[in-house]
Structure 1
Amino acid sequence: MTSNGFMGPPWQMDWALKAQATRDSLPEQVRKMIDAARAELVTAKDPYFRGVETDADLPAGMTVRPLRSTDPKGRHIFFFDHGHGWLIYDFVPRVDDPQIVVDEVFWQ
């Protein structure tokens, strides 16, 4: 817990059933990339990567953006594999049990 009473990383992560099924159906090398993206998300100080160049420390080929620029605290998209895949997620910043919820997984 941080000094302001807010829990910090590592965050909990939950997957929508369809997102989990999609992840499980992908080839092993893609699942490993998704697992690497997951590791970056659950350990990020701010899972929304707010501010200028806050995702600059992500490994090559990974970036994070709001799904809608008009809603910076809403759903976000985490690109991996240089944009060939992504996770769409929400961060629920509850004091007692904050978590990341992955709604969609895609890879082409």
Structure 2
Amino acid sequence: MTEDLTGPPWATDWTKSAAEYRDSLPTTVRDQIIDAVTELKCSRHPYRDDHLDTAKVNIEPVRSTQPRGAHLLYFDRGRGWLRYVFTPRVAEPQIVIETLFWQ
């Protein structure tokens, strides 16, 4: 089923707490987050790292036993990460960013 999806760019939404935390960070960090999420939105599949600029971002599943579950997207050389899930609906596939962290 996931091969029949509409394709990138994927719709993206943020949970309220992740969006509030993102908005509280310095501008340079927010710009890096925007770049990282743009890489993810434009990837062929949000759970695979092919066609991603791995110098900027990398992804991995939160639990190896759930490869289609939540994933982590690392950015800023691993100083920050965000946890997201991908909902592969046929009409409008969507990435939901649940948690954001930056140190």
Separation in 1, partners of 2:18, 2:5:
28
* Residue deviations 1:42-80 (CA, integer Å, cap 9, x gap): 10000001xxxx347424142100010111100000000
Counting only pairs closer than 5 Å after superposition, residues 27-66 of structure 1 correspond to structure 2 as 27-49=26-48, 54-55=49-50, 57-66=52-61
Where does structure 2 lack aligned partners over 5 or more consecutive residues?
Answer: none
Q: Assess if the C-alpha contact under 8 Å between 2:43 and 2:51 holds in 1.
A: no
Percent same amino acid at aligned positions? 47
Report the counterpart of residue 79 of structure 1 in structure 2.
Answer: 74
Aligned length: 101
TM-score (norm 2): 0.92
**RMSD of aligned Cα (Å):** 1.4
Separation in 2, partners of 1:82, 1:61:
7
TM-score (norm 1): 0.88
> Stretches of 4+ moved more than 3 A in 1?
54-57
Separation in 1, partners of 2:51, 2:92:
27
